[in-house]
Amino acid sequence: MRVTGKNSGRFSALRLLKEALIGHRGWKPGWRNPVPKKKYDVIIVGGGGHGLATAHYLASKFNITSVAVIEKGWIGGGNVGRNTTIIRSNYLLDGNEPFYEFSLKLWEGLEQDVNYNAMVSQRGILNLIHTDAQRDAYRRRGNAMMLNGADAELLNTEQVRAECPFLNFDNNRFPIKGGLVQRRGGTVRHDAVAWGYARSADSHGVDIIQNCEVTGFRIRNGKCSGVETSKGFIGAKKIGVAVAGNSSRLMGMAGMRLPIESHVLQAFVSEGLKPIIPGVITFGAGHFYVSQSDKGGLVFGGDIDGYNSYAQRGNLPVVEDVCEGGMALMPMIGRARLLRMWGGIMDMSMDGSPIIDRTGIEGLYFNGGWCYGGFKATPGSGWVFAHLLATDEPHRTATELRFDRFQRGYMIDEKGSGAQPNLH
């Protein structure tokens, strides 16, 4: 059921022309600003990309429209607005790769699904190879990707040079010996993802309640019946929490301790430049990744700062480290001036992989632990979480993303660095 009028804020060339003539006074908000009802079938805590996607898929694919998304700030103001906008599905392990490939396929149909231009651009992601051992590892990874229906292509030095002539191929310590490329990877306009999902969910009858902070869960006899909020108690049959970054704080209100630490990850954007970088490029000898936004800015990042943090800003040693990585990979970056830098808070899990699962509390469901790979997972996470909330069964691509995998010894540890969150 679509509850908003067709003129609520739909964009088209004709509409833009018409609005230009009348001073843009006819635009209306893309979604309502409703007063919370007393009770819903499902409450999603967290109006970020994952929460809004969950609401969209609950309403549009699982036909559950009595849904509220509760957000303490404004939607899209958290990590969906603070990431480096990269999408890809180049994972190795069976617990991860089917899920991320499912998510990438959803990206490919996202704009038609939500009827919103999210600027999904499959410009490719290139992981550079610097040693023979790394080539072997990437060949294995590419094969694992293809076994799960993803695309992968191994390039030699000359093929990389043809696509990215500006890279420093003859770096004495880290010469470039090739690359693993996923052509279907790329970038997406991150804010539009939040807005598109929000408008679509709203049009299906989902209530998006902003500036409403959850202050507690009402739990009796092991059953959760709703949330206490700054706008009063709101009841629900099922509550899904999707607040990565603050997962420990929120689930702490339900008496749970999580296998998660919160860490800050910094990101950077340069001044606008002419088109120079064709896709997403990652350095294989350090932690550095870069792409160029459609506005021309180089968007790049590297490692997390490495200590527990809830501050949305980092420190200078990592800034230096990231910039050194950039200079080693493409010395021309030294000519660009840095325009902005910021930090976002990550749920760093104990094996570097996410959790989408029931909890020990009936009616309470959890989605988090995204480390710094949450953005690319947005559609998949939303669909899979909606599936779990609607059916009480994990989606076929998320059967290993369980809470108890740590206790049972089934970690999904892509890097093999163990229970040390700042190394993932």
Partner 1 sequence: MIIDHPLLGPRDSAEFTYLGDASLIDRPDWQDKKAACKFYEYLYLRDNPAGEHRELWYHEAGDRSWLVVTRNTVTHEITKVELARSVAKARGRSK
Instruction: Tell me the closest approach of the beta carbon of residue 416 to partner 1, in angstroms.
Output: 16
Q: Which stretch binds partner 1 (CB under 8 A): 127-135, 236-244, 251-259, 353-361?
A: 251-259
Of 295 and 408, nearer to partner 1 (C-beta) is 408
| Residue 350 in the binding site for partner 1 (CB under 8 A) | yes
| Residue 286 in the binding site for partner 1 (CB under 8 A) | no
| Residue 157 in the binding site for partner 1 (CB under 8 A) | no
Backbone CA torsion sign across 87, 90, 96, 99: positive
| Residue 74 in the binding site for partner 1 (CB under 8 A) | no
Of 126 and 258, nearer to partner 1 (C-beta) is 258
Of 72 and 204, nearer to partner 1 (C-beta) is 72
What is the side-by-side order of every strand in the sheet holding 297-308?
153-155, 178-182, 125-129, 280-282, 289-292, 297-308, 260-272, 338-349
Q: Which stretch binds partner 1 (CB under 8 A): 114-122, 152-160, 228-236, 257-265?
A: 257-265
Q: Which stretch binds partner 1 (CB under 8 A): 107-115, 133-141, 249-257, 324-332?
A: 249-257
The beta-strand segments (E) located in 50-107 are: 67-70, 86-87
| ∠ Cα 372 377 381 (to 5°) | 120
Q: Which stretch binds partner 1 (CB under 8 A): 195-203, 228-236, 303-311, 382-390?
A: 303-311
Of 210 and 422, nearer to partner 1 (C-beta) is 422
Q: Which stretch binds partner 1 (CB under 8 A): 58-66, 198-206, 295-303, 309-317?
A: 309-317
| Residue 249 in the binding site for partner 1 (CB under 8 A) | yes
| ∠ Cα 183 394 344 (to 5°) | 55
In this chain, which of 7, 117, 417, 420 binds partner 1, going by CB under 8 A? 420
Number of residues that bind partner 1 (CB under 8 A): 25
Of 148 and 262, nearer to partner 1 (C-beta) is 262
Classify residue 81 by its DSSP letter. Answer: G
Cα 216 from Cα 226, distance rounded (Å): 9
Token pair recorded at residue 222: 């092991």
In this chain, which of 248, 293, 353, 367 binds partner 1, going by CB under 8 A? 248
Please name the residues in contact with 389: beta carbons below 8 A apart, sequence gap of 6 or more: 42, 54, 58, 62, 64, 238, 240, 365
In this chain, which of 12, 112, 221, 407 binds partner 1, going by CB under 8 A? 407
Token pair recorded at residue 99: 């899920």
Q: Nearest Cα to 282, choosing from 290, 273, 274?
A: 290
Cα 76 from Cα 155, distance rounded (Å): 37
HSE, side-chain direction, 13 A CA sphere, residue 11: 12
Instruction: Tell me the closest approach of the beta carbon of residue 352 to partner 1, in angstroms.
Output: 13
Query: Residues 258, 419: contact at Cβ < 8 Å?
Result: no
The beta-strand segments (E) located in 309-376 are: 338-349, 355-358, 364-368
HSE, side-chain direction, 13 A CA sphere, residue 245: 27
In this chain, which of 18, 307, 360, 391 binds partner 1, going by CB under 8 A? 307
| Residue 315 in the binding site for partner 1 (CB under 8 A) | yes
Instruction: Tell me the closest approach of the beta carbon of residue 327 to partner 1, in angstroms.
Output: 18
Q: Which stretch binds partner 1 (CB under 8 A): 45-53, 167-175, 243-251, 281-289?
A: 243-251
Q: Nearest Cα to 189, choosing from 127, 268, 74, 110?
A: 110
Q: Which stretch binds partner 1 (CB under 8 A): 18-26, 63-71, 155-163, 415-423?
A: 415-423
In this chain, which of 317, 331, 360, 416 binds partner 1, going by CB under 8 A? 317
Instruction: Tell me the closest approach of the beta carbon of residue 375 to partner 1, in angstroms.
Output: 22
Instruction: Tell me the closest approach of the beta carbon of residue 114 to partner 1, in angstroms.
Output: 33
Task: Spell out a b/e string for 118-156, using b for 16 or more CB atoms within 10 Å of the CB, else e.
Answer: bbbbbbbbbbbbbeeebbeebeebbebbeebebbbebbe
| Residue 214 in the binding site for partner 1 (CB under 8 A) | no
Of 66 and 422, nearer to partner 1 (C-beta) is 422
Binding site residues, partner 1, CB under 8 A:
246, 248-249, 252, 257-262, 306-311, 315, 317, 350, 406-407, 419-422
